[in-house]
Structure formats: structure tokens, C-alpha cells
Structure 1
Amino acid sequence: MSGFTILGAGVLGLCVATELAGRGHAVTLVDPALGPGTQGCSWWAGGMLAPWCEFENAEEPVLRHGQPAIDWWDRNAGGVTRKGTLVLALGRDRAELDRFARRTHGFDEIGGNRLAELEPDLAGRFDRGLFFAAEAHLDPRTAMAGLQSRLSERGIAIAAEPPETPGQIVDCRGLAARDILPELRGVRGEMLVLRCPDVALTRTVRLLHPRVPIYLVPRGDGIFMLGATMIESDRRGVVTARSVLELLSAAYALHPGFGEAEIIELGADARPAFPDNLPRIGRAADGRLYANGLYRHGYLLAPAVAMQLADHIATGNKPEFWHETDDQR
């Protein structure tokens, strides 16, 4: 049994810890925040397990690895809602719906009657849409807590500092790892959490717009996650007024009931991404392994990255997401 110290307790660090511990390795999980959920882009995520929708503007590995991620989360954290995704567009943006359909698959094109059956509160508001029945969603905060709880049952807690003898280090620090991964860049996302008991939706809804597309993910009890902007910036912190206006305007266009919603949280963070927007696994100059660069696909790709890393540790074979610098080739 080998010993590993994992730096970072975001979604990727927790998934890596889960995979390594499940294969019999001794694991220490280190994060200065002393636990998932107090900050970071894993906390401010939509939790959409939507590989076919994401394939509309993502590379093929996102679709291929995103599909088994749904079952991985169900096995290891629970709380997955398998009710599919609805993709809609307002009348003036109907061309966006056609464009979206051309760039992906795995959907049924539905009319207003079927839409009303799926989401009665949207009855009469849209005459067509795309329904991705195999997609799912989860509450990221609950999922992270679930992974942490199962790790705790194995005796794995989250420490603030690495142990004196760390063993093999696995770096999953996200943007904080730019000290060893200078190609990482930040992609800012801004989100709102709303309470709107007057609107009942049971599945993720995406409303297309050529400039400000949104997603709305139900959390239950009238709570929704509304997001998200995509800004090439590593600026973290508070949400801008422009983003709040644009996101809320889009939600109101989806259903006017959101005009009475309470804003109970606003959040923004920067997702770590490499130039090709795909994750990487590799070995840094100081010998540590790293896994990073999930971009906007954190919950969709973290299981695949974690499994590939664990397979590499077991076999020495280089996984699909392996990356070598010029001096390593």
C-alpha cells in the first residue's frame, strides 16, 4: 500500500482521494480551507451532468467521459437527479436552438404539449425545445459533502498542512497550482442562488441566447442555481452588477415568476483551464504528480481524471489526459 498526499480538497481532489482510497492506498488530503465548500469554483458550480449539452461547444472527450460520470457520482456520493435537460429559446432566438441541435445529439425535439408534460410551469411559453433525457444534475455542495463523509468513514480527514513525510504528492490545487503550471488560465463564472417557490421546475433548463445563455438548476424547496457567465479572467470575488442584470433578465424571460425571486447568494470564481480547455495529468519538475484544468466541466470530468490518475499509479501507463513538457519528451 502506497502513501499519497493530495493537495486541494475541491471536486478533483476529493475524486482523486476517493479513487485512490478505494484501491487500497493510504491517502492524506490537504487543504488550507480545512474542508470543501467554504470557497472555490467547486462550491460555485451548477452541478449539471450534461455531456450531450456540453458537447455543443466542447471536445469529444467531454462527451465520452461525461456519460459514465453520472453513474460514478451516484455510486460514490449519491443525490443524482436523473430527469434530463431541457434546452429552450425565445422566439427571436429560434436560430440558436437550431444551431445547438446541429452541434450535438442525444436529444428529442419536442413540441409545446410534450414540454408542458415535462414542466407544467412552462406550459404555453415555448412551442418547441430539445429534451436530453439521459442527462442529470446534482447539488455540488451535497456531493462534495458526500465524498468527504465517505472518506471520513475510511479515516481520511482534511488537514490544513501536509504531513512531515508526505509520500507521493498529487497536486489538485486548481489555479493555485500556477506556480508549477504556468499555462493555466482562469475562466471567470458568476452565479446566483435564488429562492422562488412560485416556480416549480424539476430538471435543468438551458435558455439559449446569442450573448447571454443561462442555465437554471433546481435544488429543491424552491431553490435554484442560476448561471453562468464565461469571462476570460482570473479575477475572483464578487459578482458584477452587469452580470446580475443579465442573468436575472434571462431568468425573467424564461418565466416571469422569477421577477419575485429572492437572491439568497451571489458568487463568482475562476475555473482553471489549459489552452485547449481539456484537463491534464502529468509530473511536475519537482516530481509531484498533478491533475488540473477541468475548465467548466468539473463535475463532468473529475471522475474520469481521477480514474485515469489512479490507473497510471497502478500500471505506469500514460493515460489519455497525460501531458508532457518538451523537456520530458
Structure 2
Amino acid sequence: MTVAVVGGGIIGLSIAWRLVSRGADVTIFDDGVDGAWNVAAGMLAPGGEAAFETPALVGLMKASAERWPSFASSLGVDVGYDEAGTLGLAVTADDVASASREWSTPPLRPSELRELEPALSPRVRAGVYLPADRQVDPRLVVAALRDRLADRIVAKRVSTLDEVDATTIVVAAGCGTAALTGLPVRPVKGQVLRLRGEPGLIRHVLEATVDGRSVYIVPRADGEIVVGATQEERSDWTVTAGGVYDLLRAAVELVPDLAECALAETLVGHRPGTPDNAPLLGVLREGVLVAAGHFRNGVLLAPVTADLIADLALGGPADPMLDDFAPGRFA
């Protein structure tokens, strides 16, 4: 049995890695275009998304979060898996009123928050600590997967599935899935910043509402700090002054010391969205599976997607978790 995976991003590579570990003969077709994973912050926080997603998707995210420790360990190298947790924060009274509707625990006082995160601005009024949240560095994950699968990756842009000769084809092409399958996957633009500061400036992932703006700040162990992200129903690749300004203003309002950091990168990525912003997972037609449309949860959902799609590709029964994510649900 041969399996072809069309797409060399974190979803396609994770599926291929799981298949190879189970003895399958796998070829990955990679068009060389970095997908959403390249700009993703790598937050593994299913609880933080619970207010925005359906119960079925929240269940899928929680199942995947539980698999991340073993998935990261299986790669055999440091991929930035971090267990420091997340602080959910609000700055103004209006921000507190808005954010508190999503908090599942009583808010902490500003003094308690600054004990956990000394760099926080005195303007922060309230917040919660989410110790179960995790993060990972998607760039390190993809680099590790590419290293382990190097002899199976073919540099090729697949224009039609008729070009692919395999027993089973897995389409995991992100925003490119629409052209290959006709499924409704659209690009949702996001602008992200990468700063460079002193390691340890920020201890936790910060998710905040600042003067009505949502912002996240994700610190890496080496001093890199990811600030994101805008969400725009656009497909262009332009980094805009307004997008950078909004992100920097909110970030510096939250952590004033970020103003002294170097602005290392300004980036644009495109989240692969669907009409209901839930992924497309499962059988499209005989011999063709789909794993796409993960929107803003691609990194989080990589391990569970790999397991569920690998089971199908190897002839196993469909897991009930797939029921709500069938690729044909929009037909």
C-alpha cells in the first residue's frame, strides 16, 4: 500500500510521520510555500477557544492537546514544548467586562498578576491564570518532521490529483486544498510580529484585550517574542502599517518593556478557513482523504489529525470524532 500526502506543512507532515511510524510507504509532495504554521505562535490552549467553537471542535482540540506531550517527545529533539501556562488579561473596565464572560475561574487582582508576570503594565486591571495551557514552536516542529521524513519529501507543486499515483491520497494542502478538491477553503489573512528581547522578559503566554483589541504575546526560551495576530478576510501578502501599529500598540500597552525589543520580523500568513471555521477531516471519495481547513487551530490539532487520518489511510474504521468534520458537509 502506498500513501501520497499532498502538502508539506505541519498537518501533512504530522500525518506522514504517523503513517511512517506504522510502516506505510509514504511520499510527501511539498510545493515549497510555507503555510500558516510558519507564522503561527504555537499556543496549545483548547480551553481558551471554547467560547468561540462548537462542542465537537472543542472536544477535538482537547483530545489533541492531550496527545501533544507524547507527539513532541516522539520527535526526539527540543521543539519548544513549554508548560508555563497562559495569563488571560484585561486592561480597561470595558475590557474586563468583555473578557470576564469567557473566563472560567475567578479573576486575580493586579498585584497577583504581577507576581506571576512582573513585566506587566500597571494598567492591567484583572486576569486569570490558566496553568494547563501549553505552547510549542511550530517552526521547530516542522524542521524536526522534515528532518525525519527528508527521504520521502518530493519538491513538487501538485496541480491536479490525477498527477498523483498512490493507493491512497491525503490532501493536506491548507488554502491550496480548494483548487485540488473544490472544497470551500478560503485564506484568512493574519499579520504577526516577531520581536527579539532578553530571555525571561516574559514568563507566560499572554492573551489579552487591550482597549478593545485582542492580542497575544508568546515568549520563546531564546528571547524571541511572537505578537499576533490580525484577522482579515483578505488574501494579499501585504504587511500594513496599520496592522503593525495595532499589534505593537496593544503589546506595549500590556508590557511596556517590549518597546525596547528589536523588531525582527513582520509576517503575513493565511489561515485556511471553512464556512463554519471547523476542519475538513475524512473521506472525500474512494482513495482520497482530506485533512484541511484547520483555520487558527492547525498546530494544536496536528497530533489528533495525524492519528485519525492515518487510521483511515491504513484501512481502519472512521473514529466517531470525525463525524462532525466530514469533507462533504457543505455539498
TM-score (norm 2): 0.86
Mapped to 1, the partners of 2:209 and 2:108 lie a distance apart of: 16
Mapped to 2, the partners of 1:41 and 1:75 lie a distance apart of: 23
Q: Which amino acid aligns with 2:96?
A: R
Mapped to 2, the partners of 1:326 and 1:8 lie a distance apart of: 22
1:150: which partner in 2? 148
Question: In the superposition, relative to structure 1, how do residues 83 and 198 fare at CA in structure 2: closer, same or farther (>3 Å)?
Answer: closer
1:215: which partner in 2? 216
**Secondary structure of the corresponding residue to residue 128 of structure 2:** strand
1:159: which partner in 2? 154
Q: What is the CA-CA distance between 1:32 and the residue it aligns to? A: 2.2
Q: What RMSD over aligned residues (CA atoms) do the two structures have, in Å?
A: 2.5
Q: Which amino acid aligns with 1:122?
A: L
**Secondary structure of the corresponding residue to residue 213 of structure 1:** strand
**Secondary structure of the corresponding residue to residue 170 of structure 1:** strand
Question: In the superposition, relative to structure 1, how do residues 124 and 326 fare at CA in structure 2: closer, same or farther (>3 Å)?
Answer: closer
Question: In the superposition, relative to structure 1, how do residues 287 and 312 fare at CA in structure 2: closer, same or farther (>3 Å)?
Answer: closer
Aligned 8 A contact 1:216 1:227 in 2: yes
Aligned 8 A contact 1:6 1:13 in 2: yes
Deviations 1:114-155 (A, max 9, x none): 322322222745353111101111111011112222334xxx
Matches of residues 276-287 of structure 1 in structure 2 within 5 Å?
276-284=276-284, 287=287
Matches of residues 52-67 of structure 1 in structure 2 within 5 Å?
52-66=47-61, 67=65
Query: Number of aligned pairs?
Result: 315
Aligned 8 A contact 2:2 2:24 in 1: yes
Deviations 1:43-84 (A, max 9, x none): 010100011112121222343233314324432344310011
Structure 2, unpaired ranges of 5+: none
Q: What is the CA-CA distance between 1:288 and the residue it aligns to? A: 2.1
1:241: which partner in 2? 241
Q: Which amino acid aligns with 2:220?
A: R
2:22: which partner in 1? 23
Q: Which amino acid aligns with 2:228?
A: G
2:231: which partner in 1? 230
Q: What is the CA-CA distance between 1:170 and the residue it aligns to? A: 1.0
Mapped to 2, the partners of 1:84 and 1:164 lie a distance apart of: 43
Structure 1, unpaired ranges of 5+: none
Aligned 8 A contact 1:72 1:303 in 2: no
2:317: which partner in 1? 317
1:192: which partner in 2? 193
Matches of residues 1-329 of structure 1 in structure 2 within 5 Å?
2-33=1-32, 39-66=34-61, 67-77=65-75, 78-92=79-93, 93-101=95-103, 105=104, 107=105, 109-122=107-120, 124-152=122-150, 156-161=151-156, 165-179=165-179, 180-197=181-198, 200-209=201-210, 211-233=212-234, 235-284=235-284, 287-319=287-319, 320-321=321-322, 322-323=325-326, 325=328
Aligned 8 A contact 1:115 1:129 in 2: yes
Mapped to 2, the partners of 1:69 and 1:191 lie a distance apart of: 27
Q: What is the CA-CA distance between 1:167 and the residue it aligns to? A: 3.5
